Amino acid sequence: MSGMEIFVLWLEAFITLAIFSFLYKDNPVYHMVESVFAGLSAGYYIGLYWKSIILQQLWEPMTRADNPKWWLFIPGIFGLMMFTRLWPKYSWISRIALAFVMGSTAGVFLITQLHGLVLPQMQKTMLPLVNSKGLEASFLAVIVVIGVISTLIYFYFSKEHKGFLGVTAKVGIWFIMISFGAHFGYTVMGRVSLLIGRVQFLIEDWIGSF
Amino acid sequence: MRTTVPVVIAFLSGLVLAVSIFFRPDKTIIGQLEPELLVWVTIIGGFTLFLGAVSITRVNFNAVQRRKKGWGYSLLTLISVFVMALPSLLPSTWSPLFGDAEGSIYDWLFQYLDKPMMATMFGMLAFYIASAAYRAFRARSAEATILLLTATLVMLWRVPMGEAFLRSIHTALPEWINTYVMNGVNMAVQRGIIIGAALGAASMSLRIILGIERTYMGKG
């Protein structure tokens, strides 16, 4: 193992133990690593956005010799307008850029949410109860229809949940609890898998190198 | 001026993008506008991230300058931002340490510091999720019991030992969890939530385009 590899191994082991030290008690070493993590993450996104957006989508298409997209100076100016938020007196200028982003996003959302999500999801819910796949598929189709309708009714607050609406909302919350339980189980397993990865690193890579 | 101009811009940009889907991009200008305007939105989004970077620098710089409590940590954050970001902004033609290619400072810091830190932070959450689960899952009501049972079943189902245990109860139990819990109930609820949220997003979009929703502009 080279000197550099040993240095990297010990550095990773140090930061792993420093972060885990918070499990025992809040301490300065943890805060130190936490601050470095916050700074590095911010720095990472600056580098990423600089290359993938500012250079690749703005500067290069605008300045290339062959068919330059000179009109990209408009979003460039809009982007610079966002910086006026740093001076309260002129911060209203940033609203123009913000309004463009909000309006454009709203325009895209208006269609994609209805056309790309609501209609396809409704179409997939309307399954034939009697089909060639047998009784199990029919039973599953019934579960899906009841689940979708009762979940939607649970989140419908314009009318008091009483009578039929109340019973359906109650069924909805049972469905929702099962779904949240499943999600929780998945999330826990994902986090435990990451934890196992770090513990494996400490035991096999770091302690194993002694 | 300060309110009308943004409302008009939001209306026009929203209208163009909402309508552009009905026009062919290869034959009409309005159809071609959609991908172009989406690039514009991405570019402005990129600048906003830099605004965030300026803001984080300003806040931490002020903390260091005024020697506020914990200013040492602010200094560390500042140093980390610059050590990570600056070499990535410089062209790799100057030195192989600049840019974002393999072997650069940016790549090294990401691979050997940022990535393991992220994995450890999220790994540590396993402990806090366990303690949150204890508080949330105490089966005090029928709903909490359902949540507890489903989460336990799914957690067992996701590991080989748990799956073997479930099979010892009934050989088809893991398949039932997959079919009825994950692809049945869970999918139905997700679908209900997606439909509800999408309808909400569409109505909010309409409010923004029509200038009824203006809270994004802030005060002043």
**B119-159: per-residue pLDDT in tens?**
999 888 888 887 887 777 676 788 888 988 999 999 999 88
Q: Which of A21, A40, A90, A194 to mutate to test the interface with B (most CBs of B within 10 A)?
A: A40
pLDDT at B192 (0 to 100) = 95
CB < 8 Å to B187, chain A: 144, 147
Instruction: For residues B40-59, give the mean pLDDT.
Output: 92
Mark which of A109, A125, A141 sits at the end of a domain: A125
Per the structure, the count of domains in chain B is 2
Residues B27-31: what's their mean pLDDT?
A: 88
Asked if A35 and B76 come within 8 Å (Cβ–Cβ), the reply is yes
Say yes or no: A112 and A138 in one domain: no
Share of chain B above pLDDT 70, in %: 98
Q: Of A89, A15, A76, A14, whose CA–CA distance to B39 is shortest?
A: A76
A133 or B85: whose pLDDT is higher?
Answer: B85
Of B62, B89, B116, which marks where a domain is finished?
Answer: B89
Rounded Cα gap, residues A191 and B128, in angstroms: 10
**One domain, residues B164 and B85:** no
Q: Do residues A104 and A87 share a domain?
A: yes
Between CA A97 and CA A107, with CA A101 as vertex, the angle to 5 degrees is: 140
Q: Give the single-character DSSP code of B170.
A: -
In angstroms, what CA-CA distances link B149 with A174, B21, B145, B173, B177? Answer: 12, 46, 6, 14, 12
B 175-204 residues with CB < 8 A to A: 179-196, 198-199, 201-202, 204
Q: pLDDT tens digits, residue range B157-198? A: 988 999 999 999 999 999 999 989 998 999 999 999 999 999
Same domain, A146 and A184: yes
Q: CA of B156: how far to CAs of B24, B120, B124, B176, B177, in Å?
A: 51, 23, 21, 13, 10
Residue in B69, B79, B111, B117 to test binding to A, most A beta-carbons within 10 Å: B117
Report the pLDDT averaged over residues B101-114: 92
Does residue A179 sit in the same domain as residue A204?
yes
Q: Shortest Cα distance from B15 to chain A (angstroms)?
A: 6
pLDDT along chain A (210 residues), means of 10: 90 94 94 95 93 94 92 95 91 93 94 92 86 83 94 92 93 95 89 90 91
A53–B46 CB contact, under 8 Å: yes
Q: Looking at residue B128, what is its pLDDT?
A: 86
Task: Indicate the number of domains in chain A.
Answer: 3
Q: What pLDDT shows up at residue B139?
A: 64
CB atoms within 10 A of CB A61: 16
Locate the chain A residue with the closest alpha carbon to B123.
A195
Query: Quick one: tokens of B102?
Result: 């393999």
Range of the domain at B214: 138-220
Q: Check CB contact under 8 Å for A107 and B133.
A: no
* Residues B16 and B83 occupy one common structural domain: yes
User: Quick check: B156 and B165 in contact, CB under 8 A?
Assistant: yes
**Does the residue B33 lie in any domain?**
yes
The alpha-carbon radius of gyration of chain B (Å, integer) is 26
- CA geometry: angle B196, A157, B202, nearest 5 deg: 30
A190 and A135 together in one domain: yes
Domain presence at residue B98: no
B185/A101 Cβ within 8 A: no
B106 is a domain residue: no
A94 and A153 belong to one structural domain:
no
The answer to whether residues A147 and B189 touch, using CB atoms and an 8 Å cutoff, is yes
Co-location of A147 and A168 in the same domain? yes
Q: Is residue B103 part of a domain?
A: no
Residue from B84, B87, B85 nearest B96 by CA: B87
Longest pairwise C-alpha distance within chain A:
73
Q: Domain residues for A98?
A: 78-125
Looking at the fold, whether A134 and A104 belong to one and the same domain comes out as no
A202 vs B contacts (CB less than 8 Å): none
For residue A199, what are the contacts with CB-CB under 8 A and spacing of at least 6?
Answer: none
If one compares B133 and B23, the residue with the highest pLDDT of the two is B23
Q: Is the pLDDT of residue B220 over 80?
A: no
Partners of residue A98 in chain B, C-beta under 8 Å: 6, 216-217
Task: Note whether residue A73 is domain-resident.
Answer: no
